[in-house]
Each structure stands twice: as C-alpha cells, then as structure tokens.
Amino acid sequence: MTEATTTAPADRAPTGLTRELGLLGLAATGICSMLGAAINVIPIMIQRSVPGIGPYVLPAYLYAALPAVLAALAYAILASAMPRAGGSYVYASRALHPYLGFVASFSQWFGLSIAIGVVSYVVVPFLRDIAAALDMGGLAVTLDTGPARVGIALGFLWTFVGVNLRGIKLYERTLVPLMFLMFALGGIVIVAGFSFDHADFAAALATREGAQVPVAAGTPFRIGPFLAAAALLFSSFIGFDSIAQAGGEAKNPNRALPLAIGIAVVTVGTFYILFTAAVYHAVPWTFVAERAQETDLTAPGLLGYVLPAGWTVAIVAGAAIALINDLPAMLLAVSRLMFAWAEDG
C-alpha cells in the first residue's frame, strides 16, 4: 500500500500550464483584447460625448496613446520579471499584499465576466445587420428574436470556452486567423476613407438626402474638451493586461512577454489612428458633430454614403469579427486569474 501510494504521482500525467504560446499568439491575445467593435463607434460618437472636440479627435488619440505607452512599459517590465499566470494579481500581491492583490484582481475578474456575456449578446445584432444588408429579411427578423439572440450568444460563448478547455495550441490557432481577418476587413475602412474626400461625401449626401454638409465655424482649440476626449479615448488602449495573464504559458517569457506587449500597443495604436484619420478624411467632422447629436453613428453607416452596399457589408462583418475575437482572450484572462488564486491558496 505504501509503495503504491508513493509511486502513483509518478505515473500520473503532469498537470499545470505548459509553455506553448508563441510570440504571435501572445501579441494576438493583447491585440484582440484591445481592438473591438467600439473602434467603429467611439471616434465618431465622441462628438456627442465631448461637445466642442470638433476637428481635434485625432490629436486627442495621439495624446491618449502617451499614458498607454507608459502603462505598457510598466507591464512589460513586470511581466518579464514575473512571467506567471495571473498578471496584475501577481504583481499587486507580491508588491503590496496577497489580500490587496486579490481584491483588485477580483474586481477585474468580475468586470471581465460581465463583459464576456455582454460581448456574446451584442454579436447577434451585427449578424442581423449583415443579413438585412444582404436582403435576407426573414433571417434578419429571426436573428432579432429573443430565443435566437440568447441561443446564438450562448453558442459563441460555449464554443470559445471549449477552445480554451482544449488547450493553448488550439486557442492560438483560432485567435491568430481571426486577428488577421479583423485587420483585413478593418483595412477596408482605411483604404476607403483615404480614397474619398469631403467633396465626394458632400456630393453623395446631396444625391441621397438632398442635404448639404454644415459649414465649419471657427473651432478654437480648448484644453478642457481635448483632455476629456483623450481620457475617454485612453480606454481604447486597455486590454494588453491579457498578455500578462498568459505569462505562465509563454515560450521564452522574459523576452516574449515584453515584446508582445510592445507589439500589441504599437499595432493597435497605429490602427486606431489610421482608422480615425481615414473616417475623418472622407467625412467632414461638421457633419459628424451635427448628426451625432440626433442619432447614433457608426463608421460603416458614414462610409455607406460613398461606398457600394457590398463593401459596407464587409465593414460590418469586420466589426462583428472584432467583437467575436474579444471572447477567447477574455476567457483566457478570467481563467488564468482563477488559476493564480488557486495556486496561491
């Protein structure tokens, strides 16, 4: 009996996290956590949230990137020094106190858990809009019913739960293609935005609605709206912490983790700035500011004035993919937080 008891652990398969996540998978984790469907809304509806920001949305984005880079630098240093699952929990618990680390990370875990459900549910309206744009009216009506919305949301959620349960290799093989697809479809906005100018938009607006673009009045730079907009836009950069959550599974973590954080922040920041610049290159900010007070605006809706319907569908599909690929990374983050808590007892 004694011999069997002592040799059983040796015969048992090893448990725990294995370091199989490469640099591309780590970077994709951060990029997909940071870059969601909100990019199609926030740079536009900020004209309503922060009245008076006017033509200074792009400079506000650049300003918001500065503290994001500093925060990323701090995370990169900590991730390189403590490459373990748990990320911010590990850093806070080791630097301050385990209880304080748990309290802070539990709030993060709770928020992510709610966000996972919200994201799963919000994906369905994007699919409905795609169906409507493709003249599939019956499917669009079905997708707008309660059972369909809940059922499809649960389907997405449990699919990516299964991906995480199967292991980090399947997670990486799933997330990386989704990331490239998101960039390809999002790139349509950038190319289209820089292919058209304000004159093209004014002509399309006159043809469709018989309306004119509002004339720009004097818009002096004001520090108050600028800082308020920058603070709001800073939230767009939150998410690279998910890379640190995967610290226990990173290959060559001391090099890969800080490099992945840097790649994620630079890539997302560049994409945000190009995306915003492209939208405002094609659409006059005066039109956005006026219409944003009356109705909700999105990048696909604005570029729909100058683009054929098929390209608008592709942009909406890109927004849906950007939302969907949030799920694997967020599920990984919440599970690794719980792993770190359990490991510390």
Looking at the predicted structure, is the pLDDT value of residue 263 above 90?
Answer: yes
Average pLDDT, rounded, for the chain: 86
Question: Which tops the pLDDT comparison, 6 or 95?
Answer: 95
Q: Give me the pLDDT at residue 175, please.
A: 92
Average pLDDT over residues 4-20: 57
Q: Give me the pLDDT at residue 297, please.
A: 84
Domains in the chain: boundaries: 38-83+166-209+219-336
Looking at the predicted structure, is the pLDDT value of residue 4 above 50?
Answer: no
- The tens digit of pLDDT for each residue in 19-78 reads 888 899 999 999 998 887 778 888 898 998 888 888 999 999 999 999 989 988 988 888
Q: Give me the pLDDT at residue 7, please.
A: 46
Average pLDDT over residues 313-324: 88
Q: Give me the pLDDT at residue 13, please.
A: 52
- The tens digit of pLDDT for each residue in 135-187 reads 888 888 898 888 998 999 999 999 999 998 888 889 999 999 999 999 999 99
Looking at the predicted structure, is the pLDDT value of residue 114 above 50?
Answer: yes
Percent of the chain residues past pLDDT 70, beyond the cut: 94
Q: Give me the pLDDT at residue 87, please.
A: 79
| Environment class of 96 (CB within 10 Å of its CB; exposed 0-12, middle 13-18, buried 19+) | exposed
Look up residue 191 and give its two tokens. 């190319």
CA distance 308 to 305: 8
Q: Looking at mean pLDDT, say which of 124-138, 248-262, 269-283 comes out highest.
A: 269-283
320 close to 127: Cβ distance less than 8 angstroms? yes
Q: Give me the pLDDT at residue 15, please.
A: 60
Q: What angle do CA 324, 310, 175 make, to 5 degrees?
A: 20
Of the candidates 178, 150, 175, 147, the one whose C-alpha atom is nearest the C-alpha of residue 163 is 175
CA distance 37 to 30: 15
Q: Give me the pLDDT at residue 11, please.
A: 53
Looking at the predicted structure, is the pLDDT value of residue 344 above 50?
Answer: yes
Looking at the predicted structure, is the pLDDT value of residue 6 above 50?
Answer: no
Q: Give me the pLDDT at residue 129, please.
A: 84
Task: Report the 3 state secondary structure along the chain.
Answer: CHHHHHHHHHHCCCCCCCCCECHHHHHHHHHHHHCCHHHHCHHHHHHHHCCCCHHHHHHHHHHHHHHHHHHHHHHHHHHHHCCCECCHHHHHHHHCCHHHHHHHHHHHHHHHHHHHHHHHHHHHHHHHHHHHHCCCHHHHHHHCCHHHHHHHHHHHHHHHHHHHHHCHHHHHHHHHHHHHHHHHHHHHHHHHHHHCCHHHHHHHHHHHHCCCCCCCCCCCCCHHHHHHHHHHHHHHHCCCHHHHHEHHHECCHHHHHHHHHHHHHHHHHHHHHHHHHHHHHHCCHHHHHHHHCCCCCCHHHHHCCCCCHHHHHHHHHHHHHHHHCHHHHHHHHHHHHHHHHHHHC
Question: Which tops the pLDDT comparison, 36 or 315?
Answer: 315
Range with lowest mean pLDDT among 166-180, 203-217, 266-280 = 203-217
Q: Give me the pLDDT at residue 345, please.
A: 66
